[in-house]
Amino acid sequence: MHLHKYEKVWLTFGMASLIIFLLVIGFAAFWKGTHPQSHLETIDQNNVEAHDSFKPENLGLTEVADGKYKVNIVASAFNYDFGVDKDEKPVKTIRVPQGSTVLFTITSKDVVHGFQVAGTNVNMMVEPGHISRYEAVMKNKGEFTIVCNEYCGIGHHQMFGKVEVY
């Protein structure tokens, strides 16, 4: 099959850029470990409390070491359960100092949900029977809205929270 000289140049240039591009994202993924959220652990969605992370007393924010935090969440239509505060009121805002490393661990009791801390790289699907987990460094100060970004029913847009980095 005949290819025009210019077309050969064009395709060579295009394919070379493609190879460089794939090498860059491959390097980032396998050497630097920046894969998208792909946690493989499963759970019985009808009994999430049996898992240590999702016992009622373990929900919400816990400081595990200096500057290191974990946040455990149970999603259900149409709410994120971050546990309760001292006055037994449901927590809606997670407060962490700037520069801290936060590990978000979340599962769903019912349908598929999303969990995105808007303005950060924390963005994951939450599915019944699976645990999603992502660690992020909170580099910037400010208020970040947590939104459910996968349709979960007619109250979907009422499912939210907030991360405050101070």
Partner 1 sequence: MDGTENNLRLFPKKDARLYMSFMYVTFVSLLVGGLMGLLQTFVRSGKFTLPFNINYYTILTVHGVILGLVLTTFFIIGFQFALMGKTVGISDKQRNVGWISFWMMLVGTVMAAVTILVGQANVLYTFYAPLAAHPAFYIGLALVIVGSWISAFTNFRQLYVWKKAHKGEKSPLLAFMVIINMLMWVIASLGVAVSVVIQFIPWSLGYTETINVLVSRTLFWYFGHPLVYFWLLPAYMAWYAIIPKIIGGKLFSDSLARLAFILLLLFSIPVGFHHQLTEPGIDPTWKFIQVVLTMMVVVPSLMTAFSIFATFEITGRKKGFSSLFGWFKKLPWGDVRFFAPFVGMVAFIPGGIGGIINASHQMNALVHNTIWVTGHFHLTVATTVLLTYFGIAYWLVPHLTGRRLTKQINKLGIIQTIIWTVGMTIMSTAMHIQGLLGGPRRSAYSQYAGGEQVDTWIGYQLAQAVGGTILFIGILLMIYIFIKLTFFAPRGVEEFPIAAEDEDAQATPKILENWYLWVGITIALIAFAYTIPMIDIIKHSPPGSVPFKWPIGRM
**Binding residues for partner 1 restricted to 27-66, rule: CB under 8 A:** 28-30, 34-46
Per-residue binding string, partner 1, 98-137, x by CB under 8 A, is: ------------xxx-x-x-xx-xxxxxxxxxxxxx----
Q: Which of 1, 87, 88, 89 binds partner 1 (CB under 8 A)?
A: 1
Closer CB to partner 1, residue 65 or residue 123?
Answer: 123
For residue 132, give the amino acid letter.
S
Closer CB to partner 1, residue 151 or residue 166?
Answer: 151
Cβ–Cβ < 8 Å for 68, 97? no
Look at phi and psi of residue 105 and say left if phi exceeds 0, alpha if psi is from -120 to 50, else beta. Answer: beta
Rounded Cα–Cα distance for residues 121 and 116 (Å): 8
Cβ–Cβ < 8 Å for 82, 56? no
Closer CB to partner 1, residue 16 or residue 57?
Answer: 16
Q: Which of 91, 94, 148, 165 binds partner 1 (CB under 8 A)?
A: 148
**Taking CB under 8 A as the rule, does residue 5 contact partner 1?**
no
Closest residue by Cα to residue 39 from 98, 127, 121? 127
Per the listing, tokens 């349709």 go with: 151
